[in-house]
Amino acid sequence: MDLREKWLGVLLGLIVGAVFGYWLLEVRSDLSLFRDGPGGSGHPGDPGEGSSINGTVNRNSGQDSVLNSGAEENSGEAQLSARGETLLQGRTNAIVRATREVAPAVVSINVVQQKAVRSSPSMEFMERMGLIPRRGLYSHVQSMGSGLIVSADGLVVTNQHVVADAVQVVVTLSNGQQYQAQLLESVSRYDLAFLRIEGRNLPFATLSDADDLQIGEWAIAIGSPFGYLLADTQPTVTVGVISALNRDIKRAEGDREYLGMIQTDAAINPGNSGGPLINTAGEVVGINTFIFSESGGSVGIGFAVPSARVLTVIREIQEFGHYREFSLGFTLQRLSPGMVQYLGLDDPLGFLVVYILQDAPAWKSGLRPGDIIRQMEGQPLTSRDVLYRLIYEASVGDKLGFQAERDGQDWSGEILIEETP
């Protein structure tokens, strides 16, 4: 027998053995099924739960199978639901929670403003010649901004420039409810305005009086940018960080000054003015006011009035019915090298009192023209900004201590701030 025949014999033997082994497994399976029965009684002839007796079928096994299948399906749905809930909770971060807390108190403000319109050249000529009576021409212009409800009885804070020259103000809540608003107080010094709407149990946000704001922490701006285009009462949320604190800015428009502002890179766009700037704790830290931009849109440089300043005005309104304006009643000029030389002064820092209104707070303090104020509230007057910040943040009833020089002699006093008549 040659080698080829040997290998063919081996291969044939392997095939026969595999077939025989498969047959034995099948036989064992049948014997096991016969011995245990479908119900698993363990005795041949004993009917299992799934066997038939006298032609009657016991369907408990089928019902158990369906129930088990349903239980497994419910268990799977529960697991998917729990997993979805876990994922949702993981996405619900501090920013989401803070937004949910404050957003219902954010409102959109629709304003109809009365703007003066120039007459045509022919009309102006006839007015100057006395041919027709002089009369002002005005047009009504619609504008929009944002605001924040700060009390359950309907006190709303926004920017003064949002409602300037308004003949009608309508406040719209995020749920679509609209209210005619009354202008309660306008404070041009801080670019703040306060409105009153007639409502009860309104959603409101809490203003923070804390001074622990940190550069680099999250900042969330909420408002109604481009309200007419979006046609939606739900506010828009943008996120950034606190970029800087105590920024002093002088704007060309109306020569308005903003001191001690919060800077943020959270997007603030047209229509956002008057809306809140909040932190991740859900505290309102500022009122969004203006941006630096050449295009008119956000470039990441926005500014907000600190909420502590807003609270100061609110307390004034609550106690006195209005914000009490004041003026110290003097005109100052910063010392220049020429003035220092002319007056023969040793110290070049300070401000020269140029003019004082008689009976004004500065006059009552003992200051007179020609005096040189060196310090105020213990701070050397090294720049105009230092002086203006101290006055800007003061209120009626405060006292501003100062160090002055008169005829080479140092003396001190204090200015009691009084309300302007």
- Judge if 122 and 161 occupy the same domain: yes
Contact 219, 239 (CB under 8 A): yes
**8 Å CB contact between 97 and 88:** no
Q: Which residue among the candidates 108, 161, 174, 298 is catalytic per the annotation?
A: 161
What's the Cα-to-Cα distance from 276 to each of 108, 146, 218, 255, rounded to whole Å? 12, 9, 14, 24
Q: Is 161 known to be catalytic?
A: yes
Q: Please check the confidence at residue 398 and state whether its pLDDT lies above 70.
A: yes
Q: Is residue 202 part of a domain?
A: no
pLDDT digits (tens, 9 = 90+) for 131-159: 666 665 555 556 788 999 999 999 999 99
Q: Which residues pair with 412 in a beta bridge?
A: 403
CATH code assigned at 277: 2.40.10.10
Nearest partner of 193 among 156, 167, 165, 218, judged by Cα: 156
Task: Report the percent of the chain where pLDDT is more than 70.
Answer: 67
Q: Are residues 350 and 309 in the same domain?
A: no
| Residues 192, 222 within the same domain | no
Predicted local confidence at residue 364, as pLDDT = 94
Residues 343-379 pLDDT 10s: 888 888 999 999 999 999 999 999 999 999 999 999 9
228 and 313 within one domain: yes
Count of domains forming the chain? 3
Domain membership of residue 203 (yes or no) is no
Structure tokens at 263: 């800077």
The boundaries of the domain holding residue 308 are 218-320
If asked whether residues 115 and 171 sit together in one domain, one would say yes
Whether 410 and 339 share a structural domain: yes
Q: How many CB atoms lie within 10 A of CB 282?
A: 17
Please say whether the beta carbons of 305 and 393 come within 8 A.
no
**pTM (2 decimals)?**
0.69
Tell me the two tokens of residue 15: 């095939």
Whether 353 contacts 332, CB under 8 Å: yes
CB neighbours (10 Å) of residue 97?
A: 12
DSSP code of residue 13: H
Mean pLDDT of 7-28: 61
Tokens of 48: 């299992």
Mean local confidence (pLDDT), 35-60: 42
Q: Residue 74's pLDDT is what?
A: 61
For residues 251 and 420, which has the higher predicted lDDT (pLDDT)?
A: 420
Provide the pLDDT for residue 118. Answer: 56
Q: Are residues 186 and 228 in the same domain?
A: no
User: Based on the domain organization, do 302 and 247 belong to the same domain?
Assistant: yes
Q: Tell me: pLDDT of 390 over 50.
A: yes
Q: Of residues 191, 208, 243, 365, which has the active-site annotation?
A: 191
For residue 385, being part of any structural domain is answered with: yes
- Residue pair 386/332 in contact (Cβ under 8 Å)? The answer is no
* Domain containing residue 385: CATH number: 2.30.42.10
Residues 382 and 358 in one domain: yes
Contact 325, 340 (CB under 8 A): no
Q: Please report whether residue 25 resides in a domain.
A: no
Q: Which of 196, 228, 257 is a domain's end point? A: 196
One DSSP character per residue, 323-356 reads ---B---EEEEE--HHHHHHHT-S---SEEEEEE
Domain end call among 301, 320, 339: 320
**For 279-316, what is each residue's pLDDT tens digit?**
999 999 999 998 776 655 666 788 999 999 999 999 99
Cβ count near 165 (within 10 Å):
14
What integer best gives the mean pLDDT of the chain?
Answer: 79
**Taking residues 72-89, what's their average pLDDT?**
62
Residue 5: CB atoms within 10 Å: 9
Based on the residue annotation, tell me whether 346 is a catalytic residue of this protein: no
Residue type, 27: V
Which one of 273, 298, 307, 365 is the catalytic residue?
A: 273
295 part of the active site: no
Q: Are 278 and 363 found together in one domain? A: no
